[in-house]
Structure 1
Amino acid sequence: MTGTLGTHRLQDELLGEAERLAQGLLPRVDAFRTRQRDDGTIAEPGEEDRASLRAIRDEAVRWFAGHGRTGQADALAADVDGWLAAGLDTPPHFARSRDALTAPADGDWAAFLAPVQTTNSVPPVGRRLEFFLVRRKEPDALPELAVRYPHPKNNCQATVLLAGSEGLTRGNCIVFFPENVAAHDKVAEQAYAIFFFSKFRRIHETYAVPSARAVLTPESVPRASIGMHPEACYQARSLWGYLHDYFHHQGRWPLDQHIKLKMNWFIGVLEELKVDARTVLACHDETVPYAHEQIAMILLERMFRYPLDARAVRNFDAGTGVFLYSWLRERRALADHGSRLSLSYDGVIDGLRELVETIEAMEAAVTTPEAYRAAARELVRTHLREGAEGDRYACTADQSRLVRAQGRLASLPPLRFAPAEL
């Protein structure tokens, strides 16, 4: 199972591996993760827990080594043995596994096993043991797009999720970053950023689109991303991912040089809004493949899906959507129309231009991290008011419009993703 095989032959081999994993390793991982708490520990671990982890270790090490990934096999064995020695009631430390993973080349595959935070997955969400097998599949238009938007250090991988544990195959988690791995140390630089974009279409159609339809007038709901062919949707979403990350690395305070600073909650809210706004403007102003589809995806996801989170007032992405909503409301890009709101495309474009200009002017005016954090907080607070203790913000009555469909959508069964949907 190597990337040197022909595309179709490799795909067939990967599908075979996905089926074998579903019969062997994955049920063991899923059973073990149910014993873990949010921080990865097991309360009052017994010999059955230790035996279960040793069995997972042995099977996974054989699997990685058997497929030529000896570095990952050795790292996994060391991490598991270290955790067993420390006690399963202590937080796991899988830095060796985290650092042994390398980004696959386009068309090749990658796999990983460690306690991982699966953001936006089905509860319980925490640093539980997870496994994934993916095939990297970059969009066809990327080489041409990268000429016009040359990424200084692209470390993002668009992938198809072929097999995974329940934290990844159930629910809405579509990202895996090294900082998601349970470890005692912090990541200084991202060596990879894996996106499970094969999951996106069903998430978008199931949650973002109905949520927008509950808030907006029928004629003003962005439609370009609705009902897309799975392959076209994957291509468009992957291009959005590239442009989003490209813009992270531009400007006065680029992400790669200030990654710890960008993790500040207020700076992060503005950073995400800025790069998505710049992506929309690039799609509007330039000739970009799937331009209208990307714009619709960004608006629907950012404003109408992210705020649906059950703990939205503590959720970073939800905060970006609520802020953007109020920013556009203030500029009448979202205007009252009976019991619903009417979205003006031209108004949105104008509002996003102003948003980018405002954020970039603030970034240009500050010269120290302390000043940056203070200025970002002040700007965010213009539309996200102080919340209760422990909350990042509190929603106003108007902002609560965004969750009209929350109850209905929350009652839906979690999405399940079968191997190789593309």
Structure 2
Amino acid sequence: MQHKIKIVEEINHCRLEILSEGASSDPVRIAQCVRKTLEGHSDNAHVKLLLENMENHQLGSNNLLELTFTDDPDFILGFFEVPYNPDAFLEAAFVEAIAIPQNVLDIVPESEALPVLLHCCSDGFKNPLSVAIFAENFRDAEVKPYHKAYYLIEKFVDRFKSYTRPAIEAAWSPTAFPDVITADDDLLTRASAIWVHLHEYYHRTGYLPLPEHLKEKSSRNGAGAEELRVDILSILALLDLHANDPVLRASIQYILAERLIRYPLQAPPKENYDARSSVALFEYLQRHGVIGRKGGRFYFVGGYARLGEALRSILVKITALEYRISQSPADDRKKKLSFLLPDLAKNNNRWELLS
């Protein structure tokens, strides 16, 4: 463990030196720095391969990506390009996988998500927007079906504690999210891991699964509807399972709170598809009497039993629509999918009024 931590520290030193010199596009200078900094760690397979790449001034990191997935999934090293994270460059991370409970694995044995805890990482991965590391983020990656997405779960927990929990405390009844409002970091970590495990799995189900139908779901409304669909599927799966299991009960509340509350706190619905899904879900539940307000605080009328019925109703609508759309010409699907969220919200697609 200490050896890998030291390698991450050395990588961070090297990346800072290169960036401070403005040499991030100079493969010769990068190679010099990497060799000088890391040659004493060549007994590590990742470092050895990186040094070999540097001999050819190669910044492409597909072979390092493969090494992570075939040899040492707890260690990530390479050059990265991430559109939403301009800090990403030469990065490294030492992680530990989070176990998914067996009762969840019984219904979803495999997922494209790999939830992890960070033992340490270089500065580029510390960017708040970097909540996951995808195979396509490695420079010149050749993405394969077995490449999973690393989800950095501490960042999910931090977001919940920074945005969602204060919003619950300020505006919701204590009965609405009783388990997560008092949950410690360990329980929030386990709930987050279950969320991403189920979330990524359900993206690949249905009549228009991802990634095959990503283009059709690429509008803000289409993407928001897809995010809402998979989280509803996750919540319903856990509702069917939980049988007073405290971790699953907390996971249900956690997923619901994140989908229903957090996203509009971080981005306006006019600009953000996740925030639109939150608005649409809230408006639907309130319009159908599932969310009520008493004493200035929101609560779930009829508790989670009635909430589950309402979520099943939404899922039926989404599933029926996706089936009909799947039978229509591909060129028409994106437009048709864009009507779902405004219909749930009954807002005539005027998201700026709800931002």
TM-score, length-scaled by structure 2:
0.80
Match of 1:145 in 2: 104
Question: Following the alignment from structure 2 to structure 1, what is the Cα–Cα distance between the partners of residues 17 and 276?
Answer: 34
Gaps of 5+ in 2: none
Question: Following the alignment from structure 1 to structure 2, what is the Cα–Cα distance between the partners of residues 170 and 272?
Answer: 23
Question: Following the alignment from structure 2 to structure 1, what is the Cα–Cα distance between the partners of residues 53 and 217?
Answer: 30
Match of 2:15 in 1: 29
Cα deviation for residue 28 of structure 1 reads 3.6
Match of 2:156 in 1: 200
Match of 1:409 in 2: none
Match of 1:276 in 2: 231
Note the aligned Cα RMSD (angstroms).
Answer: 3.7
TM-superposition CA deviations, 1:158-178 (whole Å, max 9, x none):
211122233433536321123
Match of 1:246 in 2: 201
Could you tell me whether the CA contact under 8 Å between 2:62 and 2:138 is conserved in 1?
A: no
2:311 to 336, 352, 377: 352
Matching residue's letter, 1:291: L
Indicate how the Cα distance of structure 1 residues 301 and 75 shifts in structure 2: closer, same or farther if over 3 A, else same: farther
Matching residue's letter, 2:285: L
1:274-313 correspondence runs (5 A): 274-287=229-242, 290-310=247-267, 313=270
Cα deviation for residue 111 of structure 1 reads 1.0
Cα deviation for residue 275 of structure 1 reads 1.1
1:330-345 correspondence runs (5 A): 330-337=287-294, 339-344=296-301, 345=303
Indicate how the Cα distance of structure 1 residues 136 and 20 shifts in structure 2: closer, same or farther if over 3 A, else same: closer
2:168 to 187, 212, 216: 212
TM-superposition CA deviations, 1:18-38 (whole Å, max 9, x none):
25533x321442465678xxx
Indicate how the Cα distance of structure 1 residues 97 and 322 shifts in structure 2: closer, same or farther if over 3 A, else same: farther
Question: Following the alignment from structure 1 to structure 2, what is the Cα–Cα distance between the partners of residues 381 and 298?
Answer: 22
Indicate how the Cα distance of structure 1 residues 140 and 375 shifts in structure 2: closer, same or farther if over 3 A, else same: closer
Cα deviation for residue 361 of structure 1 reads 0.4
1:36-115 correspondence runs (5 A): 53-58=30-35, 62=39, 65-69=42-46, 73=50, 77=54, 81=57, 94=60, 96=62, 100=66, 102-103=68-69, 108-115=73-80
Cα deviation for residue 273 of structure 1 reads 0.8
1:380 to 328, 336, 341: 341
Gaps of 5+ in 1: 1-12, 36-44, 84-93, 120-124, 388-392, 401-422
TM-superposition CA deviations, 1:77-117 (whole Å, max 9, x none):
48x9467xxxxxxxxxx463685454368x95121232343
Cα deviation for residue 264 of structure 1 reads 4.6
Match of 2:135 in 1: 178
* 1:222 paired to 2:177: yes
Matching residue's letter, 1:363: E
Could you tell me whether the CA contact under 8 Å between 1:26 and 1:131 is conserved in 2?
A: yes
Could you tell me whether the CA contact under 8 Å between 1:116 and 1:130 is conserved in 2?
A: no
- Further displaced range: 230-239 or 360-369: 230-239
Could you tell me whether the CA contact under 8 Å between 2:5 and 2:94 is conserved in 1?
A: no
- Structure 2 counterpart SS, 1:69: helix
1:129 to 79, 89, 93: 89
Could you tell me whether the CA contact under 8 Å between 1:269 and 1:316 is conserved in 2?
A: yes
Match of 1:18 in 2: 5
TM-superposition CA deviations, 1:300-324 (whole Å, max 9, x none):
2122222222565323332322222
Matching residue's letter, 1:375: K
Question: Following the alignment from structure 1 to structure 2, what is the Cα–Cα distance between the partners of residues 108 and 254?
Answer: 27
Could you tell me whether the CA contact under 8 Å between 2:8 and 2:122 is conserved in 1?
A: no
TM-score, length-scaled by structure 1:
0.69
User: Percent of counterpart pairs with the same letter?
Assistant: 18
TM-superposition CA deviations, 1:205-230 (whole Å, max 9, x none):
222100222332x3344121233343
- Structure 2 counterpart SS, 1:113: strand
Question: Following the alignment from structure 1 to structure 2, what is the Cα–Cα distance between the partners of residues 174 and 135?
Answer: 13
Could you tell me whether the CA contact under 8 Å between 1:385 and 1:395 is conserved in 2?
A: no
TM-superposition CA deviations, 1:199-255 (whole Å, max 9, x none):
433332222100222332x33441212333433332232122222222222221222
Question: Following the alignment from structure 1 to structure 2, what is the Cα–Cα distance between the partners of residues 114 and 394?
Answer: 38
Indicate how the Cα distance of structure 1 residues 370 and 95 shifts in structure 2: closer, same or farther if over 3 A, else same: farther
Cα deviation for residue 384 of structure 1 reads 8.3
Cα deviation for residue 276 of structure 1 reads 0.6
Question: Following the alignment from structure 1 to structure 2, what is the Cα–Cα distance between the partners of residues 320 and 129?
Answer: 32
